[in-house]
């Protein structure tokens, strides 16, 4: 029986939406550069207007932080409560995803499911999911490494065997170490703020900086989530702007170099965790579309026998490693929406 599934992938500044017939995508589009609450509401309204004459069987939402929820969940009062609770750990995402869920509840009685970005990392090994803070606090508040972009990391790695490092590089960026399709570690943690530097997020910093900012009266959360990262260094959070201006603007050049450097550090730290590396994967908007960045990252691992084919790399082909490379290097187009549908179909 064919089921029509409307998928919402609500990001920090965008809404991707798709219509699937079972696992086949029949339509997809995106609203970008959404800044205000009203922008998001207007975009959601337009999506429902577009499909008002389509018989939809269920609606599926990508939700960034599910806390203890580790499988696709039929949305009810308790699920909404959990999404609300963990909004404090994903302030750029969960509230906007809740907005889409609530709007859909007002518009229709179609069953809704939440599929969580944290699911893939729910069984991280104890040594990688724990932080060095008092266990009493950990237990009280559920503090651990949850990991994010799990739908993307799972999608681009599921056909690869062995020791794989996946780099989801976009306005939000994360890196994962995966062995035989099971994650061993990931750069994002309790929140999507940890890890490599991002569009507006600082990534991992000395926690003393947070204490210092608070002591000086700053709103540390706002600064580190909305005003830092690439934007904090050069004024631009769109990587396309940085690439255009880095030849003349020294701050854009610094932002590019810092972003690249942080990625190299995390990838390098995961190789001993995996006890080697068979595959390196680049995905998401920056990972899939910036050959220069991929080439400069891979150069740092030539000592391991990693070699890329420049022509393939410049064409953004799927396999960009050369024939004599000891490590396979891939550019894979992620498809979180398809992974969401696959996950939902498993549980229904």
> Helix axis angle, 94-107 relative to 37-50, nearest 10°?
40
Of the residues 39, 117, 249, 278, only one is catalytic, namely 117
DSSP character string of 168-208:
EESSSEEEEEEETTEEEEES--SSTTSSS--SS---S--HH
Print the SS3 string covering 101-138.
Answer: HHHHHHHCCCCEEEEECCHHHCCCCHHHHCCCCCHHHH
Please, which residues have CB within 8 angstroms of residue 307's CB and are 6 or more apart in sequence? 298, 321, 322, 324, 325
Output the DSSP codes for 278-313: SEEEEEHHHHHH-HHHHHHHHHTTGGGT--B-HHHH
Give CA–CA dist 319/317, Å, rounded: 6
Q: What SS3 class is residue 158?
A: coil
Q: CA 238 to CA 170: how far, in whole Å?
A: 9
Q: Which residues contact 196 (CB under 8 A, 6 or more apart)?
A: 173, 174, 175, 187, 203, 204, 259, 262, 263, 266
Helix (H, G, I), strand (E, B) or coil at 157: helix
Strand 73-74 relative to strand 279-283: parallel, antiparallel, unpaired?
unpaired
Active site residue 206: no
The structure tokens listed for 111 are 């069953």
330 touches 318 (CB < 8 A): yes
- Main-chain dihedrals φ then ψ at residue 163, nearest 5 degrees: -100, 115
133 is written with which tokens? 């803070």
Q: Are 11 and 117 in contact (CB under 8 A)?
A: no
- Does residue 153 sit in helix, strand or coil? helix
DSSP state for residue 5 in the 8-state scheme: E
- Active site residue ranges: 117
């Amino acid at each position: 029986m064919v089921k029509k599934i409307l998928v919402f992938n609500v990001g920090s500044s965008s809404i991707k939406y798709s219509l699937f017939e079972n696992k086949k995508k029949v339509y997809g589009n995106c609203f970008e550069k959404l800044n205000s609450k009203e922008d998001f509401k207007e975009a959601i309204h337009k999506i429902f207007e577009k499909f008002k004459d389509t018989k939809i069987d269920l609606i599926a939402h990508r939700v960034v932080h599910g806390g203890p929820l580790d499988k696709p969940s039929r949305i009810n009062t308790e699920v909404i409560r959990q999404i609300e609770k963990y909004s404090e750990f994903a302030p750029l995402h969960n509230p906007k995803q809740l907005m889409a869920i609530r709007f859909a509840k007002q518009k229709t009685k179609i069953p809704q499911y939440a599929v969580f970005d944290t699911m893939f990392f729910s069984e991280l090994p104890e040594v990688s999911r724990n932080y060095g803070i008092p266990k009493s606090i950990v237990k009280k508040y559920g503090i651990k490494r949850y990991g994010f972009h799990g739908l993307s990391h799972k999608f681009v790695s599921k056909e690869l065997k062995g020791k794989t490092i996946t780099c989801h590089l976009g306005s939000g960026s994360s890196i994962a170490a995966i062995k035989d399709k099971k994650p061993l570690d990931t750069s994002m943690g309790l929140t999507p703020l940890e890890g490599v530097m991002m569009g507006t997020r600082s990534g991992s910093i000395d926690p003393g900086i947070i204490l210092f900012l608070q002591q000086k009266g700053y709103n540390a959360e706002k600064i580190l989530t909305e005003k830092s990262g690439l934007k904090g260094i050069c004024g631009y959070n769109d990587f396309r702007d940085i690439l255009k201006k880095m030849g003349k603007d020294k701050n854009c050049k610094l932002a590019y170099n810092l972003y690249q450097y942080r990625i190299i550090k995390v990838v390098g730290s995961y190789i001993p965790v995996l006890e080697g590396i068979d595959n390196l994967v680049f995905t998401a908007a920056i990972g899939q579309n910036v050959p220069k960045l991929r080439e400069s990252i891979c150069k740092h691992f030539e000592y391991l026998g990693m070699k890329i084919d420049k022509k393939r790399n410049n064409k953004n082909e799927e396999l960009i490693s050369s024939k004599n490379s000891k490590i396979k290097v891939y550019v894979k187009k992620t498809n979180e929406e398809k992974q969401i549908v696959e996950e939902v179909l498993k549980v229904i």
